[in-house]
Structure 1
Amino acid sequence: MRMKLKILFKETYTLSKVRIASPVSTYSYEEAMTFAGLNDSYFVPKPKPVVNDVKTQEPADKKDKKSKKEKSAKSSKSSKGAGETADLKALLPPKPEPIPEPEPSAPVFNEDEKPCFIIVDIELSEPINKKRDIEDLNKEEVLNQITQDMYEKYHQFLEENDTFTGKTIKQNFLKWLQNLGAYEIYLTSITKAATLVVTNKFKYKGSSEKNTKLYQNYIGEIFRICNDSEGNPDYWFDYAVYNLEIKSCDKAFECLQEALSKKSTHRYSLMVFGALLADKGQKEDAETCLLNLMVQEPRWLEGIIIITFGK
């Protein structure tokens, strides 16, 4: 099978596990040679080359004797005419058939018509990049090396760009470092060094029990809202109000639609939904929505005042 490999992992300081996922497809020798450079396979071996049968060459003296016999035979049989030449052409072997084109590989699907994948987890017993301690950091003097390299880069920048003035030289130097790729290296090195220093010298001495309890309460509140909001339109209306406060009217419109799908007589959702329809220029739909609200809630004083005197 032809495998298109894709490594799925997040960037970390120490890499110890890699997951490789590959779609499964039928085997094609030509595509395996073209895309993967695979010369042979354990499951489907390389096809054997077709060897043409070549007759061995005869000695020269035998050829001479045969040529003399053929000449005498031709002279004696010249009277037979062109009929025998046609018979000789019929005795010739037929032309070989053209080589069929190889079948292309095709993806393999399971019984549910979903593509099949092969997933391989490769885990290392030891990380490739070992954790650096504070002593190694002090020995290498990372910050001093960065300063020295930046000093050399700055002189190189001045030699290549001597037309910049003092006001713009700082910004142009930073852009030059970014284009060169050195700025990202400096930033990564300083971040690693600072992280190592903070985790080793300034450890957290407090208790994490309070944060653990807060996290548990937070997760419990999320599950409670998710379970209670299945048929409750109030949560969708509150989310719509939040989106209106951050000027996201399209999301608020969708939230109100969801709230009305839970309860078509939800009066606050009907009122705000009608106002949004009016802002979108859909006057007739807005009027229908507000009239529906007035029919369903004729004694709702708050809504009547907002609709009548609201802007």
Structure 2
Amino acid sequence: MKNSEDWKGAAKKQQNKIEAWRLSYLSVEELLCLQLLGYSPKQLYEDMESERYSLKETASMSIRELDKAKRILDRQTKAGVITIPYHEEAYPHHFRNLCQDAPLLVHVLGNKDLLNREDNVAIIGARAADKDGLDMAYGLAKQMGEQGHIVISGLALGCDTAAHRGCLDAGGQTIAVVASGLDITHPKVNKSLQDEIIAKGGTILSEHPFGVKANPTRLVARCRMQVVLTQSVIVAQCPIISGTMYAVRFAQTYSGDKFGLRRQIYAVEYGTMNELNSGNKFLLDYQLVLPIKPRQRTELDGFDCLVVN
């Protein structure tokens, strides 16, 4: 977007689309039915204004998929999961910056109010982190938790687990964005951590309904949801070839004037380079991110942006 008028025009267009969804009377069951039929969010966003009545008819005629959608949603409700469609006001406003990549439905277990907080930081990194990487993820998350801010990560082993744990140990609340249905914990070993996140006022979030298993494609896709929830992303430690690098790319993609804000991306700067932190070195060497050094203090300023001291 070149100027504020362009941004206002795009925002108005987006609002018109949201209103079209509200007027479509497509229920959550029908939206999930269409997903089960193979419709992508992009297809539905493009067709909603012009084809909403035929989409509704398609859902109503797909008796098997519609019945399956109703059963899934009933199971989720009994398990305490809240499902929020794109057109409802309760839908996390951060996800609207994903435009046609925004999930049609989000499934939430725990404290849904955290999803609209602004004072949050995503702390991410590789599963195969060493002690230095784990300590940085834990320590940075603990600082945020002590300050009452929200830590976002992905419930994976390694840096993600350390980040969630650091925040919880500080008495804070954390959001885990996962790549499976909320009836499945991936990895299974983190089931107790997931339960603790919920028990301590945190949130588990997915774009997938019950029964969907994590796979490499979904694990990459969830990265866009992690980074768009916040203005500040910290890479604790990662190799140059890793899923974390996808998250950095998403943070760069969904940033700038077109999206109304510029995301800050940081990476921990280690004194000694090895394979496990080679991604950090690459990002810092090419000035794609800002540095955080061990023992530096982090906090959020009055605009909820990360400040490193």
TM-score, length-scaled by structure 1: 0.19
More helix by share: 1
- Higher-Rg structure is 1
Task: Give the TM-score taking structure 2 as reference length.
Answer: 0.19
Of Structure 1 and Structure 2, which has the larger fraction of its residues in strand?
2
